[in-house]
Structure 1
Amino acid sequence: MTDISYEKKETRKKRSVLTGCYVIETSDEDLSAEEIWRLYTTLTKIEAAFQSLKSDLGMRPVYHQLADRTKGHLFIGVLAYHLLISIEHQLRNKGDHRSWSTIKKQLSTHQRSTVMLTDEDDQIHHIRVSGMPETGHNDIYKKLGVKDPLKREHKIIGKRL
């Protein structure tokens, strides 16, 4: 006959109290609970931002085979992230605590159209016009210092061959 015996480790007994709870652990003993939580939420914001950027900018999957192209791909991602954080920071300084995903969703309804046409002299015209911004758009633009989002641009970009 074979006997099987086991003993629950002391650490497991202590942790059983936390079963079903979300636990964030760190090896840094100098941080307060508030600082640990702030760092954790910062990490989740960064992850959400990169997920959004990868989707919106078409930055995944990465099929680059040359190191310079991979570096360029990463550079654009980091540059876009800095822009995103700058927008959030500027809005926070004005008392607006919306996340990037909320800002992006709000502004996605403000459209800009480009019309290309060729005149009788075979000149190619580019005409860009913004739609009328809604109250929410204007609020964000004002806080970010974006001026004249309705500006109409008309450029002659070349001649048809």
Structure 2
Amino acid sequence: MNTDLKLRPIHHQKDDSSDAHLFFGLLAYWVVNTIRYRLKQSGMMHYWAEIVRIMSTQKAITTEATNALGEIVYLRQCSEPTKTVADIYERLKYKKTPFRKIRIDKICSTQ
């Protein structure tokens, strides 16, 4: 796990914290290996660090604004994927954008 996830031993004072740390470490390891396995099945033999580097070119952007009623409105959208990112999504059978434009707000809560 140390090579792909860069996990290191962390000593917690409470058992629940240690259990949670171990659980999330194993869950992350399982997700990484599942993604790499599916990519290898489709012919892509990249290391995890290379996959992360490629996928980091797509960004999620959150914009904050105030509407006429003085309420804060958040708009979250995803950038267009590059050809390489789109290829990885296609090989994994995922959508090319993780989510469409999302508005996180109360548009007119007082009307």
TM-score by length of 1: 0.58
Task: Identify which of 153, 156, 160 aligns with 2:102.
Answer: 153
Contact 1:116–1:127 under 8 Å retained in 2: yes
| Runs (5+) with no aligned partner, structure 1 | 1-45, 55-59
Alpha carbons of structure 1 residues 100 and 133: separation in structure 2 relative to 1, 3 Å: same
1:76, 1:157 → 2: CA distance? 33
Name the larger-Rg structure. Answer: 1
Identity within the alignment, %: 27
Contact 1:106–1:136 under 8 Å retained in 2: yes
Alpha carbons of structure 1 residues 61 and 137: separation in structure 2 relative to 1, 3 Å: same
Say which structure, 1 or 2, has more relative contact order (CA 8 Å, 6+ apart). Answer: 2
Alpha carbons of structure 1 residues 137 and 72: separation in structure 2 relative to 1, 3 Å: same
Number of residue pairs the alignment of both structures matches: 107
Task: Identify which of 65, 72, 84 aligns with 2:13.
Answer: 65
Alpha carbons of structure 1 residues 155 and 148: separation in structure 2 relative to 1, 3 Å: farther
User: Please, which moves more after superposition, 141-150 or 60-69?
Assistant: 60-69
Contact 2:81–2:96 under 8 Å retained in 1: no
Could you tell me which amino acid in structure 1 is paired with residue 5 of structure 2? F
- State whether structure 2 residue 23 is matched by structure 1 residue 75: yes
In the TM superposition, what is the alpha-carbon distance from 1:127 to its structure 2 partner?
1.2
1:131, 1:50 → 2: CA distance? 25
- Per the alignment, residue 97 of structure 1 pairs with 45
Q: Where do 4+ consecutive residues of structure 1 move more than 3 Å?
A: none
1:144, 1:95 → 2: CA distance? 11
Indicate the RMSD between aligned Cα atoms, in angstroms: 2.3
Alpha carbons of structure 1 residues 90 and 155: separation in structure 2 relative to 1, 3 Å: same
Choose between structure 1 and 2: higher helix proportion: 1
Alpha carbons of structure 1 residues 64 and 122: separation in structure 2 relative to 1, 3 Å: farther
User: Please, which moves more after superposition, 139-148 or 113-122?
Assistant: 113-122
- State whether structure 2 residue 73 is matched by structure 1 residue 118: no
In the TM superposition, what is the alpha-carbon distance from 1:50 to its structure 2 partner?
3.4
Could you tell me which amino acid in structure 1 is paired with residue 104 of structure 2? K
- Per the alignment, residue 50 of structure 1 pairs with 5
Alpha carbons of structure 1 residues 131 and 87: separation in structure 2 relative to 1, 3 Å: same
